[in-house]
């Protein structure tokens, strides 16, 4: 097992990882920017090192400074959390070169899955169902684009190969606008991700976004955990996640879960990761992408299964054998996570940073809070706007929704506009309560304009 882990992150996920390390008897090193001295992760860690200025590019993305901090503090491993350097192939490689264990899969797998075109090609080759599409990058001068369009049929979606978060995505409904949309997608992809490769896919209407958590050791054992339904997103940012999905039967769970396991196995995946699928109205499911990191929504699955995914991740990275079996997992009811962000829902979700006054957060049986904030803490404008993740676990979906509603009603974050009111609306919505949620839910039922 590792002796000392450096956590190359901030916020709630840095706190989450530090606590997991402490439970495993591992010493912890926090890094922070100039403006993050008062942050909770700095207080929780055994040691903290300032790695640069407020701007993430000068601190949490500053690879030379982070590596220097690890060497000076005598760390033997680095946990990247999510965001920042978590899926950066070059960072994983530098860690390896410097004799620091990167807590994640191999750099080769990070690279393969980071490029969606490569990922889809690999999955297709292994017999994993993929969305009908161009199976490679497309260019406007290539007449093949019209052949592909004819074969898969409109509507079509154009996606950036190294993209994510919905940037560079374009919907196309006919041949007339295809070339134009490809150019626009390429231009956006180039400016946002530095890579202009885009590909075409059949547009699946009102799909469900479901994902399976995977755990894998380096001896070839792989397990999958029950799915998370992440269909409720706003501008491609997840707002809430739940598990199990209200629309998936035990038989379908097993079928997609085994597919997720095969997907991970085919690329010799190690540690923890997530395989994302789109599910259409007829229960056809398609591989969409694989995330090679711990995700924001991992606590939903932890609540549901009692498995500490972060501790497992660290143990697997240290070379321990996987002790979790998919077949033996007990689903303890139903879990929902709401992400409360420092954003103003009445002003198009503009960020609302600033100093928190009085702070009242919910509690009680079946409520878990993952947060880094406290009364008097200043939410900084430089980083993401997540204040707290509220996770509720009840006997069934109905009880969990009630628990979550009550928890949300207890939230008071003085002086900071936040999204708890939006979540209260969602919990009260009949369509949501019925479980008929697709990716179109928010625009249809919550943000509907008169």
Active site residues: 293
Is the preceding peptide bond at 155 cis, omega within 30 degrees of 0?
yes
Select the span of 51-59, 90-98, 231-239, 267-275 touching ligand MV4 (CB under 6 A): 231-239
Residues with Cβ < 8 Å from 90, sequence gap 6 or more? 63
Stretch that binds ligand MV4, among 6-14, 42-50, 195-203, 243-251 (CB under 6 A): 195-203
Q: Which two tokens stand for residue 444?
A: 């249809």
Binding mask 314-353 for ligand MV4 (x = CB under 6 A): ----------------------------------------
Instruction: Give the C-alpha separation, 99 to 59, whole Å.
Output: 21
Toward ligand MV4, which CB reaches closer, 16 or 208? 208
277 neighbors 288 (Cβ within 8 angstroms): yes
Report the residue from 128, 131, 138, 336 that binds ligand MV4 according to the rule CB under 6 A.
131
Q: Is 426 helix (H, G, I), strand (E, B) or coil?
A: helix
207 binds ligand MV4 (CB under 6 A): yes
Distance in Å, CB of 158 to ligand MV4, minimum: 10
Looking only at the bridges linking them, the beta strands covering 208-216 and 228-229 are antiparallel
Q: What is the C-alpha separation between 276 and 286, in angstroms, rounded?
A: 8
Options 12, 87, 197, 201; binder of ligand MV4; rule CB under 6 A: 201
Q: Do residues 193 and 167 lie in contact, with contact meaning Cβ atoms separated by under 8 Å?
A: yes
Closer Cβ to ligand MV4, 201 or 370, answer by number = 201
Q: What are residue 240's phi and psi, to 5 degrees?
A: -150, 155
Q: How far is the CB of 171 from ligand MV4 (least distance, A)?
A: 8
Can residue 241 be called a binding residue for ligand MV4 (CB under 6 A)? no
Site string for ligand MV4, 153-192 (x = CB under 6 A): ----x--------x--------------------------
Give the binding-site size for ligand MV4 (rule: CB under 6 A): 14
CB of 275 to ligand MV4, least distance (A): 14
Near ligand MV4 by CB under 6 A: residue from 151, 236, 258, 436: 236
245 binds ligand MV4, rule: CB under 6 A: no
Q: Which residues pair with 400 in a beta bridge?
A: none
For ligand MV4, the closer CB: 193 or 377: 193
**151 part of the interface to ligand MV4, by CB under 6 A:** no
Question: Which of 73, 231, 291, 341: binder of ligand MV4 (CB under 6 A)?
Answer: 231
Question: Contact at 8 Å (CB) between 444 and 420?
Answer: no
Closest of 12, 14, 58 to residue 34, by C-alpha: 58
User: Nearer to ligand MV4 by C-beta: 75 or 149?
Assistant: 149
- Cβ-based nearer residue to ligand MV4, 209 or 228: 209
CB 55 within 8 A of CB 47: no
Pick the binder of ligand MV4 from 42, 138, 204, 263 (CB under 6 A).
204
Q: Pick the stretch among 118-126, 179-187, 197-205, 421-429 that binds ligand MV4 (CB under 6 A).
A: 197-205
How far is C-alpha 160 from the chain's CA centre? 18
Pairing status of strand 271-279 against strand 354-355: unpaired
Facing residues of 241 across strands? 337
**Which range of residues in 184-192, 202-210, 379-387, 396-404 is near ligand MV4 by CB under 6 A?**
202-210
CA 276 vs CA 87, 180, 392, 448: distances in Å:
16, 29, 23, 28
Q: Which is nearer to ligand MV4, 21 or 210 (CB)?
A: 210
Q: Shortest gap between Cβ of 238 and ligand MV4 (angstroms)?
A: 8
Contact 185, 158 (CB under 8 A): yes
The DSSP result for 344-386, as a single string, is EGGGTTEE--EE--SEE---STTEEEEE---TTPEEPTTS--E
The answer to whether residues 42 and 32 touch, using CB atoms and an 8 Å cutoff, is yes
Contacting residue, 10, 116, 170, 209, with ligand MV4 by CB under 6 A: 209
The yes or no reply on residue 215 touching ligand MV4 (CB under 6 A) is: no
- The contact set with ligand MV4 (CB under 6 A) reads 131, 157, 166, 201-204, 207, 209, 231, 233, 236, 278, 439
């Amino acid at each position: 097992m590792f002796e000392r882990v450096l956590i190359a992150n901030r916020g709630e996920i840095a706190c989450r990882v530090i606590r997991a390390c402490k439970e495993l008897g591992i010493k912890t090193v926090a890094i922070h920017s100039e403006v993050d001295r008062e942050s909770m992760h700095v207080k929780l860690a055994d040691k903290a090192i300032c790695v640069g200025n407020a701007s993430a590019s000068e601190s949490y993305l500053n690879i030379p400074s982070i590596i220097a901090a690890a060497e000076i503090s005598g760390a033997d491993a680095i946990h990247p959390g999510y965001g920042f350097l978590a899926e950066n192939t070059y960072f994983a490689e530098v860690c390896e070169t410097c004799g620091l264990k990167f807590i994640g899969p191999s750099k080769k797998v990070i690279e393969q899955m980071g490029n969606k075109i490569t990922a889809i090609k690999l999955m297709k080759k292994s017999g994993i169902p993929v969305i009908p599409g161009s199976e490679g990058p497309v260019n406007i001068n290539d007449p093949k684009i019209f052949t592909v369009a004819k074969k898969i049929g409109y509507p079509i979606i154009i996606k950036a190969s190294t993209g994510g978060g919905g940037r560079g995505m374009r919907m196309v409904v006919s041949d007339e606008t295809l070339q134009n949309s490809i150019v626009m997608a390429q231009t956006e992809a180039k400016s946002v991700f530095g890579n202009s490769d885009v590909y075409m896919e059949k547009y699946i209407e009102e799909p469900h976004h479901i994902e399976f958590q995977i755990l894998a050791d380096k001896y070839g054992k792989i397990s999958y955990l029950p799915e998370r339904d992440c269909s409720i997103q706003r501008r491609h940012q997840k707002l809430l996640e739940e598990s199990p999905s209200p629309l998936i039967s035990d038989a379908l769970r097993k079928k997609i879960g085994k597919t997720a396991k095969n997907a991970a196995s085919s690329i010799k995946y190690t540690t923890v990761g997530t395989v994302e699928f789109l599910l259409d109205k007829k229960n056809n499911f398609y591989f969409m992408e694989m995330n090679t990191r711990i995700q924001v929504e991992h606590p939903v699955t932890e609540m549901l299964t009692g498995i500490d995914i972060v501790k497992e991740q660290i143990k697997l990275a240290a070379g321990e054998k996987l002790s979790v079996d998919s077949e033996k997992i007990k689903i303890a009811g139903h879990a929902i996570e709401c992400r409360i962000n420092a954003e103003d829902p009445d002003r198009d979700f503009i960020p609302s940073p600033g100093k928190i006054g009085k702070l009242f957060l919910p509690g009680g049986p079946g409520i878990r809070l993952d947060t880094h904030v406290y009364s008097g803490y200043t939410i900084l404008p430089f980083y993401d706007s997540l204040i707290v993740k509220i996770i509720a676990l009840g006997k069934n979906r109905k009880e969990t929704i009630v628990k979550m509603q009550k928890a949300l009603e207890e939230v008071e974050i003085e002086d900071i506009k936040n999204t708890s009111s939006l979540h209260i609306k969602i919990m009260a919505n009949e369509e949501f309560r019925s479980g008929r949620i697709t990716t179109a839910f928010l625009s249809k039922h919550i943000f509907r304009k008169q």
